[in-house]
Structure 1
């Protein structure tokens, strides 16, 4: 990994040995230069003080570490190594704890306090309050101000100055400290020629592992909640190769993983984040990207100081892209309201200029580490200025999957094929893709190939530009119901023609207005697959809206095939959710449903199952009041949930006392499932017919929850009631509905 860092700071690569040799004089305090105002011998003195502070509180280590590093940086910018890039944007290490860095994710405030942050010297100077940073001499800034946390005061040039908090957007990387029980070594009297020293035995930092996000999404309503159910397999074991270790980090880790997630969120399209973890005298380098994290073996920065200086030498010469910023979208650490102008091409090869409004109030951003990390922004284009508003979707697609643009091309073929039954239910009910760009240089496989690591699961950055749509949650009454029903029908036709959407959720149901009429749109095909694509046992979807069968331990193990009935069930959960969580198009809280957002997949399934069991009482349950504009929809939900409960109770259950085992049943055809579950909610006659059916069934089966006074009916009366029901619904099965 150190060699990769070196390549980022050079025009012509010097050998690592050459760099190590150049570091020895600095390490031994013998480096001199006419422009150097500090003594290189202070580096060892600060490291000695650091090692002697090891038995004190953790915060006692910070100023000694920062002083040693910043003194080193002042020396290294004057070290002449042929072929290396000059230090054009100097950085410095700055104590941060106990100051909080704050950032808002989808309306929720996040506060974290990394121990030390790495920022540019100009940012460090700008964060001196009241514009007094200019009065500080450079040495005072790097050796006095930086060892104090934001909020502290510093007396300089007969003035008292206060340090302001940093923002995540300023941070190049972070340093997190952990107290070590082991005694630290003191710096040796002299460092030998480092290239002749043996490489130490690899050591790794042990961490708890947790799959963060793959193809099972947690609801976007809580950005910091982990998508605790992964798609394909159990969390993998650590992968160790040479001096590297591949891990799946936890974004809700209060330290390193959380800081990395904040840094990703601060810059759209950021390709990777570097993090430093210090345990005693051992330094661990972490490289996070949307595929996972790579941890380098420990570097003892006291005993192996020359190698540590090579690392600092490289980082000092990093350009913004080497810190992970995307030069096409969000290329600078300074505040940026718009992206640079990007050039796309439409299907006819015509050039289209696109700019993203990165600070728009309408943006929807992601918080997390690995996974798709989808962000959505309003977009503008001079070329298309007369054709209506645009939005841009920025996300990291898994390279082994069929891409969303390819799947949308298949969708458009279905919509335009007059021989497809129901094609009118697709045409106009899917998003309009204007153009897209795949940034091949962002592939997470590239760094892994260079390091000799497994590239499976690699991701690459896409930007897709669409015609703007509006969320279905903003609608009420018949407009909402019509849009919802449009998406149900569109989804069904696509499924039966080989396009499996597999992520039905409120955020993926949209609408547009065509000739004054509300038209529902099934949106977001980035988890979709084609009939001959990925295996059906991949567990995909947004957790609170997934079918109950997919929220089980068995499904987590990849033993449940994703069927049409699962997506059909998701539509009902979405209808339930919106009816209870939105009032006049605005979100409202429902404590009973809030838990679905924050529990893991299995627990969410259990809570939804309990909800379903009480569905026959929901209309009279004061814990579940429908929102304004959704009162009638709640009655429809009541009927749909009844259909789900009937399907659940109809599944055969083996009797273990009789030695029976559950035999796999062939899945029902989508057409059969559609007819059994859905009734056109716009056609009031259909619902009147359904109401009569339920009365007949309550008579037939003496269900006191549905009606009363049936206990005195004769068997003949019950048979007549059921026969009448069969006449209304010929496909009715007594066992299924009982």
Structure 2
């Protein structure tokens, strides 16, 4: 019998659910936010920044991207350029610019001779130098271009840009304590950066670097903070077409965007499906490699529909073949992605966007022979332009360079609200909130980092302030430990400040919530950096656009710093706070290790943190693709195709199951406040939900009892396993998986338990941690044992 089958029919959790969507009915609208399946799903638990570890996740971010024509691209970029006062944009500005660059295309002998040298390049590296020289000559000639209403070039000499060869030098960086080494072929930098990378002692003019020094590899390594754009080359043809004798103004030649290489896409899907498929006790994938869809919302039906039955004989017949296929497809995937300039460019964009909180987007070029494709990356997703043929359609490419030459730092993605003082040597920056406090951010005190090119991109850093507390003019923020949270949520999603305000209202005088919420001091959305600005300029759909949001909090500390009773009490504080908020209509939706904190200034009590994925019951769900949980901790129900498409309703038990995975994760991976080396459960940290589902099945089926619990959390072993294996979360798993599926193959319509029933089961499971104390005749006064359903604690 399925779990809870003996219960009378009752409403699906939450208890005040929409009656028009009865359990088991076909869901016609979004029940939860569709999920982002790329780097955003694993960014919080980045194992390393090695290429092979992150490339497939980054590549998943660009598999689905927007495109725009060359004319739309250039018109959009021209609209960004500063205009003369009292002059408005011209409807034929692009044509005027094309006319203005024609003399350069037709008469500039050094530009044309270097393009001829590019054509004759025997291999890919032989093309770098001629490309750099040719288009630095073009940049030099473009200085004099005057096309009203555009402002004439007005930059300090050291801020003018130039192309510079980088290969074979590495650009190195650190992310979450892990090093990364990247090697873009060519980059676009300022004269100042070129001087710093050179071995020259003098500070010569732009021309001293642009034509010879820049065409060679730099003597010193560049840093990502000075790279405005990365150029990645791919040589496919040995013979390139000749230059035109005379160029003219006309429509851009239609060169369709580079598709995701078919082989890469197939390898990627095959690799994800093949990984771990030969393990004992693993469910088999369906023939088409997709989890079949189900309209039921229970874990039992989701699991059955996602994994069709197969016999033990089939497992035996294909086990060796699957293992061999896994090794083959893994190798093919690695080779395929290494060859892909698209994947390389995306990695460079991830470096650019992740190295600092002040970067909003990245712009790169992928050059395939004589065709250049512009890639714009921001946290909404990637945009690829149609190709620009700089041999046959040189004028359009020079208009692109005209835009690059006159872009401001903000156009290159620098958020100007962050101010850097030369005296601080880059260790600090200042931010003044509009109508709010001024704060000093310590850049080397990064509490939470991010690596990727899509999603919320949350980064949290330590901060200080001497401003007046905006909530109370009689108090100052001086002397308080603060943090600043910088991230990019969907604009249509309820803001964290609104959610926390609602939570405070719910709290009233309840001990379950009071003192267990983050202390939010100030929040502001910087709308000028919305991702819809460039999409409107390019004529692209803006649905699901994101906005830069910066919030100031009082500092909290990770619950993994605590052990024994302090840890247990703080964990329970978070659990019961979550329960009370859910009953009040605040659905957290992202229970993870990072979001369970404690407050040093309030008796080490637990604090449920991070409400930027929370949902207020009764509100419409955002329709854009947002990471809807942290992959290693997501409930099995949510690791299905239906859930990823937003067609599974988020239930209270889903978050409770996440608490269970968090507890097991902490017990296995942390000791005395530190994460251990070679920690178990790392295989759960994947951006592919199918692989994560399979790995979790292994843990539930036969892995829990074999996991090593660290010394700091030995006491909680039984409770963590009991909580994870509650029948309400998943099937009663056994080693005969296929036989179990056959028993459950008959149509069933199990009834959802109520929120209170789920809470009671979890509470009873957690009390097992205190069994050793109570079995010896002692009374346990921990928060779990003394909690009563009325929300009050029994005094000791």
Which band: TM-score by shorter chain? Answer: 0.7 to 0.9
Equivalent pair of 2:480/2:554 in contact (CA under 8 Å): yes
1:84 corresponds to which residue?
Answer: 151
**In structure 1, C-alpha distance between the alignment counterparts of 2:160 and 2:591, rounded to whole Å:** 48
Q: Does 1:326 align with 2:415?
A: yes
**In structure 2, C-alpha distance between the alignment counterparts of 1:630 and 1:656, rounded to whole Å:** 35
- CA spacing shift, 1:492–1:44, aligned 2, 3 Å: same
1:363 corresponds to which residue?
Answer: 447
1:59 pairs with 125, 131, 134, which one? 125
Question: Greater Rg, structure 1 or structure 2?
Answer: 1
**In structure 1, C-alpha distance between the alignment counterparts of 2:257 and 2:217, rounded to whole Å:** 29
Q: Does 1:3 align with 2:87?
A: no
Give, in angstroms, the shift of residue 101 of structure 1. 0.8
Give, in angstroms, the shift of residue 646 of structure 1. 8.8
SS in 2 for 1:459: coil
- CA spacing shift, 1:644–1:447, aligned 2, 3 Å: same
2:240 pairs with 177, 184, 189, which one? 184
Q: Does 1:547 align with 2:635?
A: yes
Equivalences for residues 714-729 of structure 1 within 5 A:
none
**In structure 2, C-alpha distance between the alignment counterparts of 1:690 and 1:540, rounded to whole Å:** 41
- CA spacing shift, 1:63–1:251, aligned 2, 3 Å: closer
**In structure 2, C-alpha distance between the alignment counterparts of 1:304 and 1:253, rounded to whole Å:** 22
1:667 corresponds to which residue?
Answer: 752
Runs of 5+ consecutive residues of structure 2 not aligned to the other structure: 1-72, 266-289, 295-338, 468-475, 778-796
1:473 corresponds to which residue?
Answer: 560
SS in 2 for 1:611: helix
- CA spacing shift, 1:575–1:175, aligned 2, 3 Å: same
SS in 2 for 1:340: strand
**In structure 1, C-alpha distance between the alignment counterparts of 2:366 and 2:420, rounded to whole Å:** 26
Q: After superposition, give the CA deviation of every residue in 1:105-163 in whole Å (9 maximum; x if it has no partner).
A: 1011111111100000111011123xx3416564331111111112xxxxxxxxxxxx1
1:560 corresponds to which residue?
Answer: 648
Equivalent pair of 1:654/1:660 in contact (CA under 8 Å): no
Give, in angstroms, the shift of residue 269 of structure 1. 3.8
SS in 1 for 2:731: helix
Give the number of aligned pairs. Answer: 611
**In structure 2, C-alpha distance between the alignment counterparts of 1:605 and 1:332, rounded to whole Å:** 48
- CA spacing shift, 1:84–1:444, aligned 2, 3 Å: same
Equivalences for residues 80-229 of structure 1 within 5 A:
80-82=146-148, 83-88=150-155, 89-129=159-199, 132-134=200-202, 136=204, 138-150=206-218, 163-181=219-237, 183-192=239-248, 194=249, 197-207=250-260
**In structure 2, C-alpha distance between the alignment counterparts of 1:267 and 1:677, rounded to whole Å:** 41
Q: After superposition, give the CA deviation of every residue in 1:191-211 in whole Å (9 maximum; x if it has no partner).
A: 23x2xx24322421112598x
**In structure 2, C-alpha distance between the alignment counterparts of 1:136 and 1:539, rounded to whole Å:** 49
1:521 corresponds to which residue?
Answer: 607
1:593 corresponds to which residue?
Answer: 681
SS in 2 for 1:464: strand
Equivalent pair of 1:91/1:119 in contact (CA under 8 Å): yes
**In structure 1, C-alpha distance between the alignment counterparts of 2:748 and 2:537, rounded to whole Å:** 49
**In structure 2, C-alpha distance between the alignment counterparts of 1:59 and 1:16, rounded to whole Å:** 33
Give, in angstroms, the shift of residue 278 of structure 1. 0.9
Tell me how large the CA RMSD over aligned residues is. Answer: 3.3
2:118 corresponds to which residue?
Answer: 50
Give, in angstroms, the shift of residue 46 of structure 1. 0.6
Q: Does 1:302 align with 2:391?
A: yes
Give, in angstroms, the shift of residue 76 of structure 1. 1.6
- CA spacing shift, 1:321–1:605, aligned 2, 3 Å: same
Give, in angstroms, the shift of residue 303 of structure 1. 1.7
Equivalences for residues 228-243 of structure 1 within 5 A:
none
**In structure 1, C-alpha distance between the alignment counterparts of 2:465 and 2:622, rounded to whole Å:** 39
Range with bigger deviation, 294-303 or 427-436? 294-303
Give, in angstroms, the shift of residue 559 of structure 1. 4.3
SS in 1 for 2:726: helix
Equivalent pair of 2:232/2:341 in contact (CA under 8 Å): no
2:22 corresponds to which residue?
Answer: none
Equivalent pair of 2:145/2:152 in contact (CA under 8 Å): no
1:155 corresponds to which residue?
Answer: none
SS in 2 for 1:109: strand
2:136 corresponds to which residue?
Answer: 70
- CA spacing shift, 1:304–1:690, aligned 2, 3 Å: farther
Equivalences for residues 236-635 of structure 1 within 5 A:
254-329=343-418, 336-345=426-435, 351-357=436-442, 359-383=443-467, 384-386=476-478, 388-415=480-507, 417-418=508-509, 423-514=510-601, 517-535=603-621, 540-598=628-686, 600-614=688-702, 618=705, 621=706, 624-635=707-718
- CA spacing shift, 1:668–1:253, aligned 2, 3 Å: farther
Give, in angstroms, the shift of residue 687 of structure 1. 6.7
**In structure 1, C-alpha distance between the alignment counterparts of 2:341 and 2:499, rounded to whole Å:** 33
Range with bigger deviation, 378-387 or 669-678? 378-387
Equivalent pair of 1:482/1:682 in contact (CA under 8 Å): no
**In structure 2, C-alpha distance between the alignment counterparts of 1:275 and 1:186, rounded to whole Å:** 26
1:18 pairs with 74, 96, 121, which one? 96
Give, in angstroms, the shift of residue 72 of structure 1. 1.3
Give, in angstroms, the shift of residue 45 of structure 1. 0.6
Equivalent pair of 1:679/1:686 in contact (CA under 8 Å): no
Q: After superposition, give the CA deviation of every residue in 1:663-689 in whole Å (9 maximum; x if it has no partner).
A: 332321111011112238579776777
Runs of 5+ consecutive residues of structure 1 not aligned to the other structure: 30-39, 151-162, 211-228, 234-249, 346-350, 693-738
SS in 2 for 1:255: helix
Give, in angstroms, the shift of residue 662 of structure 1. 2.8
2:280 corresponds to which residue?
Answer: none
Q: After superposition, give the CA deviation of every residue in 1:438-464 in whole Å (9 maximum; x if it has no partner).
A: 111111112222332211111111001
- CA spacing shift, 1:556–1:191, aligned 2, 3 Å: closer
Equivalent pair of 1:539/1:558 in contact (CA under 8 Å): no
Equivalent pair of 1:679/1:687 in contact (CA under 8 Å): no
SS in 1 for 2:732: helix
**In structure 1, C-alpha distance between the alignment counterparts of 2:612 and 2:496, rounded to whole Å:** 5
Give, in angstroms, the shift of residue 331 of structure 1. 7.7
- CA spacing shift, 1:331–1:364, aligned 2, 3 Å: same
Equivalent pair of 1:536/1:561 in contact (CA under 8 Å): no
**In structure 2, C-alpha distance between the alignment counterparts of 1:397 and 1:319, rounded to whole Å:** 25
**In structure 2, C-alpha distance between the alignment counterparts of 1:269 and 1:204, rounded to whole Å:** 30
Tell me: higher relative CO, structure 1 or 2? Use CA pairs within 8 A at least 6 residues apart. Answer: 2
Give, in angstroms, the shift of residue 312 of structure 1. 1.3
Q: After superposition, give the CA deviation of every residue in 1:283-324 in whole Å (9 maximum; x if it has no partner).
A: 111111111122221111122222222221221111101111
**In structure 1, C-alpha distance between the alignment counterparts of 2:100 and 2:770, rounded to whole Å:** 86
- CA spacing shift, 1:280–1:332, aligned 2, 3 Å: farther
Equivalent pair of 1:680/1:686 in contact (CA under 8 Å): no
- CA spacing shift, 1:532–1:269, aligned 2, 3 Å: farther
**In structure 2, C-alpha distance between the alignment counterparts of 1:442 and 1:433, rounded to whole Å:** 23
Range with bigger deviation, 537-546 or 267-276? 537-546
Equivalent pair of 1:396/1:461 in contact (CA under 8 Å): yes
**In structure 2, C-alpha distance between the alignment counterparts of 1:691 and 1:330, rounded to whole Å:** 61
- CA spacing shift, 1:126–1:539, aligned 2, 3 Å: closer
2:38 corresponds to which residue?
Answer: none
**In structure 2, C-alpha distance between the alignment counterparts of 1:251 and 1:291, rounded to whole Å:** 22
**In structure 2, C-alpha distance between the alignment counterparts of 1:588 and 1:51, rounded to whole Å:** 54
Give, in angstroms, the shift of residue 380 of structure 1. 1.6
Equivalent pair of 1:330/1:336 in contact (CA under 8 Å): no
Q: After superposition, give the CA deviation of every residue in 1:218-256 in whole Å (9 maximum; x if it has no partner).
A: xxxxxxxxxxx99x99xxxxxxxxxxxxxxxx9996411
2:268 corresponds to which residue?
Answer: none
Equivalent pair of 2:438/2:465 in contact (CA under 8 Å): yes
Range with bigger deviation, 290-299 or 630-639? 630-639
